[in-house]
């Protein structure tokens, strides 16, 4: 469910396991700008709009398209937020 708080530990495993870390660093400025989005639903919308660029880049890199189920999006958001909170 997206209305439940995510688990940052599971989110960290997703970030690596689904290949996000291959192109993004959780503390990178590009992800830091996403911190303003309050809910996983808004994050999903931003990712959806980012989709065409991401799809092209992933195809060039030969990477599979990530799929999220259950609480995975909330977990991913919780992980990225936890990393961004630790930034100076």
Structure confidence at residue 1 as a pLDDT band (50, 70, 90): very low
Asked if residue 25 belongs to a domain, the reply is yes
- CA pair distance 88, 13, nearest whole angstrom: 23
pLDDT digits (tens, 9 = 90+) for 34-73: 666 667 677 778 778 888 988 898 899 898 888 889 999 8
Phi-psi region of 41 (alpha: psi -120 to 50; beta: other; left: phi over 0): alpha
In a domain, 51, yes or no: yes
How high is the pLDDT of residue 38? 60
Q: Is 60 domain-assigned? A: yes
Q: What is the dihedral of CA 66, 68, 72, 78, to 10 degrees?
A: 60
The two three-digit tokens of residue 54, written as one number: 């991401």
- Helix (H), strand (E) at residue 15: helix 8-17
Q: Work out how many domains the chain is built from and give that number.
A: 1
Tokens of residue 41, six digits: 């639903």
Count of C-beta atoms within a 10 Å radius of residue 42: 13
Please check whether residue 2 lies inside any domain of the structure. Answer: no
Q: Is residue 61 part of a domain?
A: yes
Domain that holds residue 63: 8-85
- Answer whether residue 1 is part of any domain: no
Could you tell me if residue 12 is inside a domain? yes
Tell me whether residue 77 is in a domain: yes
């Amino acid at each position: 469910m997206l209305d439940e708080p995510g688990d940052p530990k599971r989110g960290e495993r997703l970030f690596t396991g689904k290949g996000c870390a291959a192109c993004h660093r959780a503390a990178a400025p590009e992800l830091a700008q996403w911190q303003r989005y309050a809910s996983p639903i808004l994050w999903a919308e931003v990712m959806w709009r980012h989709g065409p660029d991401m799809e092209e880049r992933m195809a060039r890199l030969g990477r599979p398209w990530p799929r999220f189920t259950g609480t995975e999006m909330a977990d991913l958001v919780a992980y990225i937020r936890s990393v961004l909170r630790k930034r100076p």
